[in-house]
């Protein structure tokens, strides 16, 4: 009798715990939103969230990074109210709802002291597949091995980069694999021989704030707000907020706020391009 | 041991041993000195009481300290009662509970061996998703509770075993119930050992990062409830070091705060152990 | 409440706590097994070693799940750390017990104990800011197997040193006095009497240290470069199984997620085996 009781009781405890919150449905709170996902979107959404909080006291917008795939996965599983994605949804994700709110591009970055002024697409492909391994092979002047900084899987920046350069991830030979945009920027800024690719918005913001990187033009087009806006920059993408179902309540209010003209100044401040209303 | 003649092998071993100790001390002095030197510049009362700004490059760590405290509170609040109960059970071996105690002990050994990232996996799958708590201080605290349970139980059990057997025999002779013996005699006598266990558990929980990344999340704001996500000190250091260009000064400062906290806690635990051991030795 | 009733409630509470403590392990292991099952069933254990590469989540094609480079990463980093830390740690134990004065030994041991408590993320921070740039000057890119091995060595050294010192202290005084009576020098005593006698305890510490090195995540994540490849030199970046779980867990779905749980299960099995071995050699001393 004793033995049965002592196995039964903790099991009952655990079972009752799971009965409180069935399955994976996090109870949505009316005064808090959790957003996870793209490290490109995160700083921007954070700033938008802060203004939203000021205009709606008592509300809290929590933003975390983790990559586009995480944002989509969390939105699906309910761990996050809204997912942040720095690309458009794939066919396999068509059951979700995407709300674009800004545009951005992806550019190559090198250390500020690197004398190179531009890299052709072929050179970038050669560097990333390990066929050219020294800066003097691509016109960089110095004799120094290239440190190739590459994104880990699950990041839309990676996926778009591979698609544009028609690379297969199995052919890429990186020296270092990083996660968030910010980590990539920091790695390149800390290594004079490094090359990487990150969001134009993140890179421009950090470069303007004194971080030791510089953005390289692609196909002769200089990366910046103007060239992303008019579509001339070759590698551009849309930033999206993603939900599992039709948004309602606080989520809907926030999404509408993020797409409204009221935050265009924030978007421009972070070096992204607001969408035309 | 004094010897008059010194052969080559004697000198060699002496040099090797002293050399090893010296180089180890030098390496540690380098690391701790580096942290202290770089971290000291940013330490101030303001640092401890203001929230981080500019992605953590500037500002302080007040919300991080609060989140850490709450996570610890959840962790200890949940694991202490369980640990105490299990420790009492294990230290009072009777014939009927012997096999059960053996099972519990073996389970705890396995638990103690699991790598922290596996706890992160489990915590995420069980607390965050299955039980629906999401990224929260509660999930993080519960995951840590699972991690520190073996340490707490082990030290609590040692503390209880250290209580002289006479106490138990005398209370039995006086006809006291088990409950009274436990609450009035054994627990107070074992208190120092229990406190040491508590401190070691806190120290272990404070140092934990991998288990928290996927359970309590990254948010660096002041938490408003246990269901809010919160960032612990160790995660703040990790984020500043890896993701924030120019985040090193604050990372060092946070590391200094963390190391100082741990030094105080572990130092206190050692002091208590020394003094109670000595007292125990004198008594017997 | 009557006295015997109070006791029954107490007994029942104690048994509950005990079973909860025991059930947690079962729960964790059950979760690991349940979540690993899909990968083991659909992908098959052999593919974890024979697939072309580790690309579990490509957009268009089927995923590949070769874990071998990461297994090498884990083993080599742990082995590197162990090779550095084991002799140094044992020598430190010898120093503390046989060559240091009472006060010096006490201070030394306290210092090592304090250092054992420093979090891995602090070591990772130092590694990232100081060690990796140093290595980069020797051989780019910097984040590498060497950095990982060095950091692991620093982290596991206190474990080895403390258990070695405790084991050496536990060597019976009679043995040492007999050695002195036979005219053995200090070095000879250490070599032929103390070390062999203390060996089981020292072995415990070594096994626990390897277990710790295999299970380490944060510091490795910060200094190893995280490139999935079998390292061809000390300066090549690597990714360990633990770092892989940390990097990919957040967004892994279906088979990919299940494969991560498989790697977690593998790690747990290795470390638990090490800890069990260690306990066998030191039945009365279960902590390090």
Q: Where are the domains of chain C?
A: 64-287
Chain C residues in contact with B110 by the CB 8 A cut-off are 25, 29, 272, 275
pLDDT of amino acid A197: 92
For residue B143, the model assigns a pLDDT of 93
Interchain contact, B154 vs C28, CB within 8 Å? no
Which residues of chain A neighbour B244 with C-beta distances below 8 Å?
A: 182, 186
CA distance, residue C54 to nearest chain A CA (Å): 8
Return residues 83-142 of C near A (CB < 8 Å): 133, 136, 140-142
Check CB contact under 8 Å for C15 and A2. yes
Alpha-carbon gap: B3 to the closest alpha carbon of chain A (Å): 55
Identify the residue whose tokens are 């929260």. B136
- Beta strand pairing call for C54-55 and C64-65: antiparallel
Question: Is C25's CB within 8 Å of B203's CB?
Answer: no
User: Which residues of A fall within a CB distance of 8 Å from B129?
Assistant: 24, 77, 79
Report how far residue B199's alpha carbon sits from residue B152's, in angstroms, rounded to the nearest whole number: 9
d(CA A262, CA B1): 82
Q: How far does the CA of residue C121 sit from the closest CA of chain B (Å)?
A: 6
pLDDT at C61: 64
Instruction: Round to whole Å and give the CA distance between B60 and B42.
Output: 9
Q: Which two tokens stand for residue C115?
A: 């250092």
- Provide the chain B residues 89-118 that lie in CB contact (below 8 A) with chain C: 89-90, 97, 100-101, 103-104, 107-118
Per-residue model confidence (pLDDT) at position A108 = 92
Using pLDDT thresholds of 50, 70 and 90, give the confidence band for residue A15. Answer: low
Write out chain B residues lying below 8 Å of A26, CB-based: 132-134
For residue A277, the model assigns a pLDDT of 61
For chains B and C, count residue pairs whose Cβ atoms are closer than 8 Å: 262
> Cβ–Cβ of B134/A34 closer than 8 Å?
yes
Q: C: neighbours with 3+ CB pairs under 8 Å? A: A, B
Q: What is the pLDDT of residues A18-32, one digit of tens each?
A: 444 443 444 455 688
Residue A197 β-bridge partners: A108
pLDDT at C101: 86
The token pair at A213 is: 């990187």
Per residue in C13-42, pLDDT (tens digit) is 888 888 888 888 889 989 889 988 888 888
Higher-pLDDT residue of C119 and A16 is: C119
Residue B126 contacts A, CB cutoff 8 Å: no
List subunits contacting chain A, requiring 3 or more Cβ pairs under 8 Å. B, C
Please give the pLDDT value at position B7.
78
Which chain B residues are within 8 Å of C161, Cβ to Cβ?
24
pLDDT of B171 higher than 50: yes
| Interface touch A67/C20, C-beta < 8 Å | no
Mean pLDDT, chain A, rounded, equals 84
> A62 CB near a chain B CB, below 8 Å?
yes
Cα separation, B157 vs C138, whole angstroms: 51
For residue C240, report the phi and psi dihedrals to the nearest 5 degrees: -95, 165
Label residue B86 exposed, middle or buried (CB < 10 Å: 0-12, 13-18, 19+). Answer: buried
Neighbouring-strand partners of residue A239: A102
**Probe site for chain C from B3, B12, B15, B21 (most C CB atoms < 10 A):** B21
- Which backbone phi and psi does C237 adopt, to 5 degrees? -70, 150
Q: What is the pLDDT of residue B75?
A: 93
Average pLDDT, integer, range B160-165: 82
Q: Which residue of C has its CA nearest to A160?
A: C59
Do the chains contact at B221 and A62, CB–CB below 8 Å? yes
In sequence order, what E strands does A81-134 have? 82-85, 97-111
Interface contact B134-A180, CB threshold 8 A: no
Kindly determine whether residue A23 and residue B131, on different chains, have CB atoms separated by under 8 Å.
no
pLDDT of residue A4: 56
CB contact under 8 A, A79 and B224: no
Q: Which of A174, A178, A177 is nearest to A130 (CA)?
A: A174
pLDDT at A239 over 50: yes
Report the alpha-carbon distance of residue A66 to residue A61 in Å, rounded. 16
Q: What are phi and psi of A146, to 5 degrees?
A: -80, 130
Whether A79 and B244 lie within 8 Å, measured CB to CB: no
pLDDT given for residue A83 in this prediction: 93
For residue C282, the model assigns a pLDDT of 66
Q: Is C19 on the interface with A (CB under 8 A)?
A: yes
Q: Which residue matches tokens 């699906």? A: A76
**How many CB pairs (< 8 A) connect A and C?**
94
Tell me, what's the pLDDT at A24? 41
Mean pLDDT to the nearest integer, A189-211? 89
Give per-residue pLDDT as tens, A95-147.
Answer: 899 999 999 989 999 999 888 888 888 889 999 998 988 888 888 778 888 99
Interface test with B, best of C78, C118, C274 (most B CBs within 10 A): C118
pLDDT by residue (tens digit) across A41-74?
888 998 899 889 889 888 888 888 888 888 998 8
**Residues in CB range of B276: below 8 A, 6 or more apart:** B192, B193
Interchain CB contact of B221 with A (< 8 Å): yes
**Domain C64-287: assigned CATH number:** 1.10.3720.10
Contacting residues of C for A73, CB less than 8 Å apart = 250-253
The percentage of chain B sitting over the pLDDT mark of 70, rounded to a whole number, equals 94
Contacts 24+ apart (CB under 8 A), A20-23: A20/B131, A20/B132, A21/B131, A21/B132, A21/B133, A22/B132, A23/B130, A23/B132
Grade residue B255 by pLDDT with cuts at 50, 70 and 90: very high
Domains of chain A: 32-103+238-274 (3.40.190.10), 105-229 (3.40.190.10)
β-strands A213-216, A97-111: how paired? antiparallel
CA B29 to each of CA A207, B25, B33, C99: distance values in angstroms, whole numbers, following the listed order: 36, 6, 5, 21
| Cα A228 to Cα C5: distance, rounded to the nearest angstrom | 77
Which chain C positions have a beta carbon within 8 Å of B81's beta carbon? 17
Report the pLDDT value the prediction gives residue C54, as an integer from 0 to 100.
80
Residues A141 and C167: their CA atoms lie apart, in Å, by 59
- Taking residues B151-164, what's their average pLDDT? 85
Contacts of C279 in chain B (CB under 8 A): 109
List the single best residue of C122, C173, C243 to mutate versus B (max B Cβ within 10 A).
C122
d(CA A78, CA A63): 15
pLDDT value at position B93? 65
Distance from C91 to chain B by nearest Cα, in Å? 5
How many angstroms away from the CA of C93 is the closest CA of chain A?
38
Nearest to A193 among C140, C228, C247 (CB): C140
> Does the pLDDT at position B25 exceed 70?
yes
From chain C, pick out residues whose CB is under 8 angstroms from the CB of B113: 211, 268, 271-272, 274-276
Gap between the Cα atoms of C17 and B152, Å rounded: 13
CB contacts under 8 A, A 9-48 vs B, are 17-18, 20-27, 29, 32, 34, 36, 39, 43
Low-confidence ranges of chain C (pLDDT < 70): 1-3, 58-61, 282-288
The residues, any chain, with a CB within 8 Å of residue B179's CB and separated by 6 or more, are C3, C6, C7, C10
Facing C19 at nearest CB: one of A6, A72, A190:
A6
CA distance A39 to A86: 8
Three-state SS letters, chain C = CCHHHHHHHHHHHHHHHHHHHHHHHHHHHHHHHHHHHHHHHHHCCCHHHHCCCEECCCCCCCCEECCHHHHHHHHHHHHHHHHHHHHHHHHHHHHHHHHCCHHHHHHHHHHHHHHHCCCHHHHHHHHHHHHHHHHHHHCCCCCCHHHHHHHHHHHHHHHHHHHHHHHHHCCCHHHHHHHHHCCCCHHHHHHHHHHHHHHHHHHHHHHHHHHHHHHCCHHHHHHCECCCCCCCCCCCCECCHHHHHHHHCCCCCHHHHHHHHHHHHHHHHHHHHHHHHHHHHCCCCCCC
Q: What is the dihedral of CA B177, B179, B184, B186, to 10 degrees?
A: 100
Q: Please report which helix (H) or strand (E) contains residue B86, including its range.
A: helix B62-91
SS3 state at A96 = coil
**Which residue among A64, A79, A183 places its CB closest to the CB of B128?**
A79
């Amino acid at each position: 009798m004793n033995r049965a009781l002592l196995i039964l009781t903790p099991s009952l405890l655990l079972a009752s715990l799971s009965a409180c919150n069935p399955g994976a449905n996090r109870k949505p709170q009316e005064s808090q939103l959790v957003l996870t996902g793209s490290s490109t979107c995160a700083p921007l959404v954070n700033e938008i969230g802060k203004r939203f909080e000021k205009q709606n006291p008592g509300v809290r917008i929590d933003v975390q990074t983790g990559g586009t795939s995480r944002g989509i996965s969390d939105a699906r599983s309910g761990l996050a109210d809204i997912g942040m994605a720095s690309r458009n949804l794939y066919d396999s994700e068509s059951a979700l709802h995407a709300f674009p709110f800004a545009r951005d591009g992806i550019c190559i970055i090198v250390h500020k002291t690197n004398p190179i002024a531009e890299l052709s697409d072929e050179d970038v492909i050669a560097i990333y597949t390990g066929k050219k391994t020294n800066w003097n092979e691509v016109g960089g002047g110095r004799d120094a091995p290239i440190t190739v900084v590459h994104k880990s899987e699950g990041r839309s920046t990676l996926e778009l980069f591979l698609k544009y350069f028609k690379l297969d991830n199995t052919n890429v030979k990186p020296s270092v694999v990083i996660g968030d945009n910010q980590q990539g920027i920091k790695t390149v800024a800390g290594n004079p021989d490094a090359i990487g690719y990150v969001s134009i918005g993140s890179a421009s913001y950090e470069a303007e704030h004194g971080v030791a990187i510089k953005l390289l033009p692609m196909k002769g087009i200089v990366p910046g707000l103007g060239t992303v806006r008019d579509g001339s920059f070759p590698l551009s993408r849309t930033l999206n907020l993603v939900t599992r179902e039709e948004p309602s309540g606080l989520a809907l209010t926030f999404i509408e706020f993020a797409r409204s003209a009221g935050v265009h100044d924030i978007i421009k401040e972070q070096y992204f391009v607001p969408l035309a209303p | 041991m004094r010897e008059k003649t010194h052969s080559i092998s004697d000198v060699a071993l002496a040099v090797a041993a002293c050399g090893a100790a010296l180089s180890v001390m030098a390496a540690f002095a380098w690391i701790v000195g580096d942290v202290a030197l770089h971290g000291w510049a940013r330490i101030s009362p303001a640092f401890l009481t203001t929230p981080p700004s500019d992605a953590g490059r500037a500002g302080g760590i007040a919300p991080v300290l609060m989140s850490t405290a709450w996570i610890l509170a959840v962790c200890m609040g949940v694991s202490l009662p369980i640990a105490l109960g299990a420790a009492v059970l294990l230290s009072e071996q009777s014939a009927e509970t012997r096999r059960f105690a053996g099972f519990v002990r073996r389970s705890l050994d396995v638990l103690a061996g699991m790598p922290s990232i596996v706890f992160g996996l489990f915590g995420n799958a069980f607390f965050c998703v299955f039980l629906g708590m999401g990224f929260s201080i509660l999930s993080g605290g519960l995951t840590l509770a699972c991690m520190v349970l073996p340490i707490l139980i082990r030290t609590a059990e040692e503390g209880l075993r250290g209580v002289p057997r006479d106490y138990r025999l005398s209370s039995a002779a006086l006809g006291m119930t088990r409950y009274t013996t436990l609450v009035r005699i054994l627990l107070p006598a074992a208190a120092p050992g229990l406190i040491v266990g508590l401190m070691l558990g806190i120290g272990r929980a404070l140092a934990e990062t991998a288990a928290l990344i996927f359970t309590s999340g990254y948010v660096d704001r002041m938490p408003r409830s246990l269901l809010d996500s919160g960032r612990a000190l160790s995660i703040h250091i990790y984020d500043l070091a890896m993701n924030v260009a120019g985040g090193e000064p604050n990372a060092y400062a946070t590391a200094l705060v963390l190391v100082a906290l741990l030094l105080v806690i572990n130092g206190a635990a050692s002091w208590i152990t020394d003094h109670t051991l000595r007292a125990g030795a004198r008594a017997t | 409440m009557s006295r015997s009733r109070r006791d029954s409630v107490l007994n029942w509470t104690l048994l509950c706590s005990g079973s909860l403590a025991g059930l947690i392990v079962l729960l964790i292991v059950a979760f690991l097994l349940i979540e690993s099952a899909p990968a083991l069933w659909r992908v098959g254990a052999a593919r974890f070693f024979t697939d072309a590469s580790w690309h579990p989540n490509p957009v268009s094609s089927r995923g590949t799940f070769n874990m071998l480079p990461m297994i090498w990463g884990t083993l080599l980093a742990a082995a590197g750390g162990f090779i550095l830390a084991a002799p140094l740690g044992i020598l430190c134990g010898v120093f503390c017990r046989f060559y240091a004065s009472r006060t010096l030994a006490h201070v030394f041991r306290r210092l090592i104990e304090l250092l054992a408590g420093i979090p891995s993320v602090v070591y990772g921070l130092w590694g990232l800011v100081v060690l990796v740039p140093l290595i980069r000057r020797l051989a780019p890119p910097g984040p590498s197997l060497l950095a990982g091995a060095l950091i692991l060595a620093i982290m596991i050294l206190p474990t080895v040193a403390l258990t070695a010192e405790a084991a050496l202290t536990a060597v019976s005084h009679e043995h040492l006095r007999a050695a002195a009576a036979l005219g053995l020098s200090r070095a000879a005593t250490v070599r032929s009497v103390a070390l062999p006698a203390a060996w089981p305890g020292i072995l415990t510490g070594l096994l626990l240290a390897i277990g710790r090195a295999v299970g380490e995540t944060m510091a490795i994540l910060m200094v190893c470069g995280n490139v999935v490849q079998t390292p061809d030199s000390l300066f090549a970046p690597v990714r360990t199984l633990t770092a892989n779980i940390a990097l990919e867990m957040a967004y892994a779905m279906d088979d990919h997620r299940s494969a991560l749980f498989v790697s977690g299960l593998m790690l747990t099995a290795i470390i638990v085996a090490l800890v069990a071995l260690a306990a066998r050699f030191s039945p009365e001393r279960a902590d390090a």
